[in-house]
Structure 1
């Protein structure tokens, strides 16, 4: 009976020392995203200068503490605890580094897509400007009577206009004397045609 009681107390002591965290210490599952967000907020704060920006930085930290239901004292106590347990802290920071690298890749992808969209909009605007310029040139040529349809384009009326400008005379039929003697009927027909003209 004494041995069983002794074994029971040993298991209770070992179980209580193993996985339990002190009162104000955050677990690993909370510390990883909290430290990721804190490092991002630190980078944001380092880029902000001046007294008017201190309020923005302080509100960023307050919103982070509210998101994870803690405060600066809880974060400090958690970091003190994990620095005493370096293996656990190393695992946390490996996860933090992975998250930050993933966020950087997502940001680079977003910026690349944004640049492509801006370039597409610029090309579209340039094409619209070029279209307006060409249309204005066409309108001015059209108003002056110069048609800008291209070199190979011909209107259907071009052939008729050329005929009216230069009337084409039909060649006179050549009558051979020999054929007139032999064929009097042909001779009469040809004379009639000439008289009609």
Structure 2
């Protein structure tokens, strides 16, 4: 009988330890990580869109990345820890990048609309 009681509490302890609703301490929540990844990739795009010297990319890129981290109240160590955590869950990271893709498409569509309105105004003025 004592063996069964020990087994019961062992299983209960394992089950209680496995039920974790959120990410571990030091890992950014999923929604914050989605927004942070999007902004990091936008900085990447800005840096690599125009040909630059490697030292210029490092010099100017570091400040831009730090500004993004500051905006999300984190640092590069927490970002790396969070990225490693989510990368170990392929379905989760794929869903995150799908959300990023939707957000970027929305921003592009918004900018396109604004650009088209400005072109129409300029064309109306010049005629």
- Corresponding residue of 2:121: 117
- Corresponding residue of 2:88: 84
Residues 110 and 53 of structure 1, relative CA distance in 2, 3 Å threshold: farther
1:74 positional shift: 1.6
Q: How many residue pairs were aligned?
A: 121
- How do residues 1-197 of structure 1 correspond to structure 2 at under 5 angstroms? 2=5, 6=9, 8-15=12-19, 18-48=20-50, 49-50=52-53, 55-123=59-127
Question: Which whole-Å CA distance do the structure 1 matches of 2:72 and 2:8 have between them?
Answer: 42
* DSSP 3-state at the match of 2:82: helix
Contact 2:36 2:72 in 1 (8 A): yes
1:5 positional shift: 6.2
Contact 2:22 2:29 in 1 (8 A): no
1:33 positional shift: 0.8
Superposed structure 1 runs of 4+ greater than 6 Å apart: none
Taking only aligned residues, the RMSD between alpha carbons, in angstroms, comes to 2.5
Question: Which whole-Å CA distance do the structure 2 matches of 1:108 and 1:45 have between them?
Answer: 22
Bigger Cα Rg: 1
1:58 positional shift: 3.0
Question: Which whole-Å CA distance do the structure 1 matches of 2:124 and 2:60 have between them?
Answer: 35
1:53 positional shift: 6.9
Which sections of structure 1, spanning at least 5 residues, go unmatched? 124-197
Question: Which whole-Å CA distance do the structure 2 matches of 1:54 and 1:111 have between them?
Answer: 32
Per-residue displacement from partner, 1:55-91 (whole Å, max 9, x unpaired)?
A: 5433322211011111122212211111111111011
What is the TM-score normalised by the length of structure 1?
Answer: 0.53
Residues 56 and 113 of structure 1, relative CA distance in 2, 3 Å threshold: farther
1:26 positional shift: 1.2
Per-residue displacement from partner, 1:121-168 (whole Å, max 9, x unpaired)?
A: 222xxxxxxxxxxxxxxxxxxxxxxxxxxxxxxxxxxxxxxxxxxxxx
Which sections of structure 2, spanning at least 5 residues, go unmatched? none
